[in-house]
């Protein structure tokens, strides 16, 4: 019996010595690759418009793509639509504020230590293009409580798409300010071109205008950058199909 047990033990030891040890594999989270997320469904015409240094996409993450998907989904309830649209708007507004000037600021912390930081330089304002642009006002107010906001009402001819200014009201000193022009959906670019012309008539320099946008088409970007190459366009997505239902869905008039 002792001999048999020894034989079995020797066999086991031999097998263990011959066993090939596999390297440990680290578990990876189930996350969609960024290169897959950041690419729109149709890249046609996107690359050339991004060649302009003044056309900027906010960083595209899985979270950003989810918000875009919910907003585009036709069965999204209005409550969810507004909630997730406000989140996406906030991202664009925060990125837009990065284009405003800041000045070095030294503060004293609660423990008495100095801290070298930055302070926002006042002198900016917002201008919303009625009506859909008003959806972005809350996001701007949440970030800058005391910022002044002007408005432009522009109507477009349904047949010719020609834009006409109906109403415009701005801060009196808008010519000395940097302007965050708010318009979430840009399909043709005609409305933005008209609004920019009005701002220029009031003394605003084109390089002081930053368009805050959620969705735009390559065609619209080309039109705007051709007319005003110094204007900055900040958006989340350039795609041939823009969600033109945005304004009606957001305000509950769809």
Give me the domains of the chain, ranges plus CATH numbers: 36-251 (3.40.50.2020)
How large a percentage of the chain has pLDDT more than 90? 71
Instruction: Report the distance separating Cα 218 and Cα 221, nearest Å.
Output: 5
pLDDT in tens, 51-88: 678 999 999 999 999 999 999 999 999 999 999 999 99
Per-residue confidence band for 27, with pLDDT thresholds at 50, 70 and 90: very low
Residue 163 has a pLDDT of 79
Q: pLDDT at residue 3 above 50?
A: no
Q: pLDDT at residue 28 above 50?
A: no
Residue 68's closest CA among 83, 86, 88, 50? 88
Per-residue confidence band for 18, with pLDDT thresholds at 50, 70 and 90: very low
Q: pLDDT at residue 25 above 80?
A: no
* pTM score of the predicted model: 0.79
Instruction: Report the distance separating Cα 68 and Cα 175, nearest Å.
Output: 34
If phi > 0 it is left, if psi is from -120 to 50 it is alpha, else beta; for residue 203 that is: left
- Residues in Cβ contact with 11 at an 8 Å cutoff, skipping those fewer than 6 apart: none
Q: pLDDT at residue 49 above 80?
A: no
Instruction: Report the distance separating Cα 228 and Cα 225, nearest Å.
Output: 5
Residue 29 has a pLDDT of 39
The answer to whether 41 and 210 have CB atoms below 8 angstroms apart is: no
Residue 254 has a pLDDT of 78
Burial 3-34 (b: 16+ CB within 10 A, else e): eeeeeeeeeeeeeeeeeeeeeeeeeeeeeeee
pLDDT in tens, 101-148: 899 999 999 999 999 999 988 889 999 999 999 999 999 999 998 899
pLDDT in tens, 220-234: 999 999 999 999 999
Per-residue confidence band for 186, with pLDDT thresholds at 50, 70 and 90: very high
Q: pLDDT at residue 155 above 50?
A: yes
Q: Which of 16-25, 61-70, 211-220, 233-242 has the lowest mean pLDDT?
A: 16-25
Residue 130's closest CA among 97, 94, 168? 168
Q: Which has the higher per-residue pLDDT, 220 or 30?
A: 220
Residue 46 has a pLDDT of 61
């Amino acid at each position: 019996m002792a001999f048999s047990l020894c034989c079995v033990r020797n066999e086991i030891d031999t097998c263990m010595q011959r066993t090939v040890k596999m390297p440990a594999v680290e578990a990876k989270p189930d996350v969609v690759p960024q290169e897959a997320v950041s690419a729109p469904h149709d890249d046609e015409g996107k690359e050339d418009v991004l060649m302009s240094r003044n056309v900027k996409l906010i960083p595209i993450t899985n979270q950003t793509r989810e918000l875009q998907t919910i907003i585009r989904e036709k069965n999204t309830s209005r409550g969810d639509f507004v909630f997730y649209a406000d989140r996406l708007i906030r991202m664009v507004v925060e990125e837009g504020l990065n284009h405003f000037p800041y000045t070095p600021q030294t503060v004293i912390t609660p423990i008495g230590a100095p801290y070298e930081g930055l302070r926002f330089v006042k002198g900016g304002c917002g201008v919303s293009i009625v009506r859909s642009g008003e959806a972005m006002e809350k996001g701007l107010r949440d970030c800058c409580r005391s910022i002044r906001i002007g408005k432009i009402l522009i109507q477009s001819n349904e047949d010719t798409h020609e834009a006409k200014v109906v109403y415009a009201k701005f801060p009196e000193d808008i010519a000395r300010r940097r302007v965050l022009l708010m318009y979430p959906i840009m399909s043709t670019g005609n409305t933005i071109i008209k609004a920019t012309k009005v701002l220029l008539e009031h003394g605003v320099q084109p390089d002081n205008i930053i368009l805050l946008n959620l969705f735009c088409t390559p065609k619209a970007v080309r039109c705007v950058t051709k007319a005003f190459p110094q204007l900055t366009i900040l958006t989340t997505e350039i795609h041939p199909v823009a969600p033109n239902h945005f304004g009606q869905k957001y305000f509950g008039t769809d």
